[in-house]
Amino acid sequence: MTERTEKTRTKRTVARRSHLSTSLAASLATSPAASLVLLAVSFTALAVLFAFLRVPMPDALVYRAEGAAVVHGRDLYGFTVTEGRLPATYPPFAAVLFAPMAWLSVPVLKAAFLAGNALLLAWLVHLSARLAGRRSPFPLLCAGTALALWLEPVFQTFVFGQINLAIACLVLWDLTRPPGARGKGVAIGVATGIKLTPALFIVHLSLRGREHRREAVTAAAAFAGTVALGALLLPAASVDYWTRRIFETNRVGKPWIIANQSLQGLVARALRDPSPFPAWVLVSAVVAALGLWLARRVPDERWGVLLTGLTALLVSPISWSHHWVWCVPMTAVLLADGRRAWAAAVAVVFTARTMWLVPRDGDMDLHLSWWQQALASPYALLGLALLAAVALEPGARRGRGQASSARSSSASMIR
């Protein structure tokens, strides 16, 4: 009797705490004042932290140097900047877009990246809600932006002065537009011209069905246009990039370090091999085939988009932790499907920063013990787990034509 009473009390306590947390979340999502305060506190804390640490934003400095190379006619792929001796790694078209940065001072550049990424994060939260089939009223938008800021990939995007949020927004905006919208696919093509990884979304559109093939052709044409524009404005740099630099994956960074959360990083650390080419290619080929097959077969287009994004991040030779800003739409879709436990797990994984807790000085990344491997590759392992969960879901194997309802099927997609 005493044990049963204790269990009852425990259940009541848990229920009260759950109700309190739900009430708090609901208050933040519906109260303009509370959400604005949360947003202000969140970004003020970020600004103070950056000022105190004197965050260098190294990638923003690389973009500025690329723009200066375009403006002054210098060798685009022959320089390095910052203490880390970082080179240019994007296609020539991206450098053309970076040209206006050449006229900005470093403090102004950093301020512009902080403000620009803040706006892009709010847009990403809005687009994530749209992908999930939900509205994003102002209080929810503010609260979501304030909380998403502290997800590790988003936070690191601000730290490095990266363009990940811009790329994700271009792709999501295009994919969430109404079917048959004029120019649908152009933004994906432009995103691919800046950073090649979104090219997998063109493949996804071509495989998804006849109604999407026109969008795939439009995206491919837009990408070709970015290549042509880069060749027209920077002919020597274009020849250099497309015949040589594109194959120099080590130019981007060491693939085996913990910051790389792609399959290549996971395999390299697991095998303790800095160049696990055969094993990595085999694993990546299997994952790419599975991911694209699932993205084509899954009844719900929302999950088709997410699975393609996950697959691109996994099979890319290098996916730095800050590339995984797709955790924002992933969380939105899971919440919309009522999978709060999964959404909470995703939020924990992308907030915990476990990869920064293991030894990583010198080549210690390649000498981790077995229990440290999971801590070192949380994003890649989560991506594989989500692919496996969807693959085991009967609705995904039935295919699009046999699903009675995309919404109801997606609600049971992740259990």
Q: Kindly report the CA angle at 62 between 56 and 66, in degrees rounded to 5?
A: 150
What is the pLDDT at residue 407?
43
What is the pLDDT at residue 124?
98
What is the pLDDT at residue 402?
42
Q: Measured between alpha carbons, how far is 334 from 378 in angstroms, rounded to an integer?
A: 18
Nearest to 208 by CA among 123, 299, 119, 75: 299
Map residue 85 onto helix, strand or coil.
coil
Q: Measured between alpha carbons, how far is 351 from 337 in angstroms, rounded to an integer?
A: 21
Nearest to 320 by CA among 159, 113, 147, 120: 159
Chain centroid, CA 201 distance in Å = 13
Q: Measured between alpha carbons, how far is 212 from 172 in angstroms, rounded to an integer?
A: 15
What is the pLDDT at residue 361?
77
- pLDDT, averaged in runs of 10, over the chain (415 residues): 44 41 52 89 95 93 97 94 92 98 96 97 98 93 96 98 98 94 96 97 91 93 98 97 90 91 96 91 96 93 96 97 98 93 93 92 85 95 94 65 41 42
Q: What is the pLDDT of residues 37-70, one digit of tens each?
A: 999 999 999 999 999 989 999 999 999 999 999 9
**Bridge partners, residue 260, by sequence:** 320
What is the pLDDT at residue 12?
47
Where are the alpha helices (H) located in 54-185, listed in sequence order?
A: 58-72, 92-98, 106-131, 138-148, 152-160, 164-175
pTM to 2 decimal places = 0.89
What is the pLDDT at residue 6?
43
Instruction: Kindly report the number of other CB atoms within 10 A of residue 386's CB atom.
Output: 22
Q: Measured between alpha carbons, how far is 208 from 188 in angstroms, rounded to an integer?
A: 15
What is the pLDDT at residue 277?
87
CA dihedral 95, 98, 103, 104 (to 10 degrees): -140
CA dihedral 99, 100, 102, 105 (to 10 degrees): -160
159-180 as b/e, with b when 16 or more CB fall inside 10 Å? bbbbbbbbbbbbbbbbbbbeee
What is the pLDDT at residue 347?
94
What is the pLDDT at residue 415?
42
What is the pLDDT at residue 395?
64
Radius of gyration, CA atoms only, the chain: 22
